[in-house]
Amino acid sequence: MKILVADLEGVFLPEIWINVAKKTGIEELKLTTRDISDYDVLMTKRLSILDEHNLTLKDIQDVIAGLDPLDGAKEMLDWIRKRTQIIILSDTFEEFAGPLMEKLGFPALLCHNLTVDATNRIIGYNLRIDNQKARAVKALQGLNYHVIAFGDSYNDTGMILSADQGFFFKPPESITKDFPDIPITRSYDELQVMLTTLLAN
């Protein structure tokens, strides 16, 4: 049996932190896992910036409330779910992604959560498990699934390389240079063609 796993932001949703940066005017918040491969370094930097500028969870959720899935994302997910199961493996947080899941038709999502104090400040983040994307792939393989994985960032390479078949979706050039052997799709049309081929074989 085959099952798909995929990243969330940059694949089906816009990058949340980039939109927070645009809304607040804080350029440093535009950095994502496309730019910094070490997730702990990235999140520590983000939390420090939020604290410095007195931004709360509600401030970020207000930005998220105004976001919509990428154009064609809901239709792409519907197309996939008519053909096989898909699990979204994301390094986002339940407090961020929850409101957007309804707009995507509530796909299965495995992600992390935040620690928030009494004043609604984000004071920490809690990884559900280290290296969760690659380990989720291994767990599914342990259940005798043939896993197909795709994503767009450095933090997706573990699951893509661990999967039985994997590829990038609209990655930045810096990542494709570092991983030249991983196939690439650059649109939902190309994604459909790739998945049609992989699911048929």
In order, the DSSP letters of 117-158 are: -TTS-EEEEE-SSTTHHHHHHHHHHHTT-EEEEEESSGGGHH
Tell whether 133 is in a known binding site. yes
In a domain, 31, yes or no: no
Residues of the domain holding 154: 2-13+70-111+129-200
* pLDDT, position 29: 87
pLDDT value, residue 38: 81
Q: What's 157-186 look like in SS3?
A: HHHHHHCCEEEEECCCHHHHHHCCCCCEEC
CA angle 5, 182, 144 (to 5 degrees): 40
155 is in an annotated binding site: yes
Any idea what DSSP says for residue 75? Answer: H
Per-residue pLDDT tens digits for 76-108: 999 999 999 999 999 899 999 888 898 999 999
> pLDDT: is 178 or 38 the higher one?
178
Q: Is 62 annotated as a binding residue?
A: no
Residue 74 lies in a domain: yes
Give a yes or no: residue 40 inside a domain.
no
pLDDT at 110: 95
Say if 93 falls within a structural domain.
yes
On whether residue 178 sits in a domain, the answer given is yes
| pLDDT over 90 at 201, yes or no | no
90, 120 in Cβ contact below 8 A?
no
Where does residue 169 rank: exposed (0-12), middle (13-18), buried (19+ CB within 10 A)? Answer: buried
| Average pLDDT score over residue span 17-32 | 88
- Catalytic one of 7, 52, 78, 190: 7
Residue 103 annotated as part of some ligand binding site: no
Q: How much is the pTM?
A: 0.90
Q: What is the CATH number of the domain that holds 9?
A: 3.40.50.1000
Residue 95 lies in a domain: yes
Active site residue 7: yes
Q: Which two tokens stand for residue 94?
A: 């339940």
Give domain status of residue 9, yes or no. Answer: yes
46 marked as part of a ligand binding site? yes
What is the pLDDT at residue 15? 87
Catalytic residue among 9, 35, 94, 178: 9
Has residue 54 been placed in a domain?
A: no
In terms of Cα–Cα distance, which of 104, 97, 88 is closest to 159? 88
48 is in an annotated binding site: no
The tokens of 112 are what?
A: 């992390």
When divided into structural domains, the chain yields a total of 1
